[in-house]
Structure 1
Amino acid sequence: MTSAVRLIRSDALADAPYAYAATAPAGSRLIFLAGACPLEDDGTTTAPGDYAAQAERCVETLKDALAAAGASLTDIISTRVLVASTRQQDLVTAWDVIHAAFGTHDVPSTLLGVTVLGYDHQLVEIEAIAAVAGEES
């Protein structure tokens, strides 16, 4: 299935590893996802202290939530990535994993360093909005 999301780029803006904007046509169904967290099936936090492993688990969680809503990563229209760190390198470590998971669907994204996240030992969280063509069946 083809994604309803159209990524927008502009030569007037600095080159970045993501689109600056995205649109979906009228009639698209928007899906607002809760923050995808690095939690195992038993509720424990994945790989305490490991930004890359937690980012990978967040992507897996995000994919599962999207599938439950009838969508996939290519239907995401924007993301916000939260990383519990004041070190830019930690943010980049998480971002590199997430960016790679999206492949060529480089959606508009915001990457933020935050003080703390909601679960014990949690370092990464991904918020997302997706858009799929048509109305919910």
Structure 2
Amino acid sequence: MSPVELLRSPTLTDSAPYACAARAGDLVLTAGACPLDAAGDVVAPGDVAEQARRVMANLVTALADAGCGLTDVARTTVYVASSDRADLVAAWEVVRAAFGEHDAPSTLLGVALLGYPDQLVEVDAIAVRPS
């Protein structure tokens, strides 16, 4: 039996791999959470902040389905499809607010393109499942 368990969130769209996590012992690795609704469509085209809000809501769901919460996150990577620093800041402010007092290390990147048409934001996380 493999020490890695692949999980798919039963409550997020099954059209995207972001709804998946891998659990190895107490370590949980999420695929990038995307700004997709239940039908698998990108929400709020052109609106970085609103997409970041949906991304964080989807990340919370994926983590919960893997037995974790945001306070269990050890590290994130935030991707924003923009070369405008204002867009990066807009996404970061939403992500940061979602984590509240839990100040996990994070990398914020401006990238040329993300996987879905009109997608501007994606966040992946590494968490440690509580005992």
**RMSD of Structure 2 on Structure 1 (CA):** 0.9
How many residue pairs get matched?
107
Partner of 1:44: 41
The 5 A counterparts of 1:1-137 are 29-134=26-131
Q: Quick one: distance in 2 between partners of 1:63 and 1:42?
A: 18
Q: Quick one: distance in 1 between partners of 2:46 and 2:130?
A: 39
Q: CA deviation at 1:132?
A: 1.8
TM-score (norm 1): 0.76
| 1:93 alignment partner, SS class | helix
| 1:35 alignment partner, SS class | coil
Q: Quick one: distance in 2 between partners of 1:55 and 1:71?
A: 20
Query: Which structure's relative contact order is higher, taking Cα pairs within 8 Å and 6+ residues apart?
Result: 1
Q: CA deviation at 1:91?
A: 0.2
TM-score (norm 2): 0.80
Q: Where does the alignment leave 5 or more consecutive residues of structure 2 unmatched?
A: 1-24
| 2:122 alignment partner, SS class | strand
Q: Quick one: distance in 2 between partners of 1:120 and 1:30?
A: 31
- Give the share of equivalent positions with the same residue, in percent: 55
| 2:54 alignment partner, SS class | helix
Q: CA deviation at 1:133?
A: 3.3
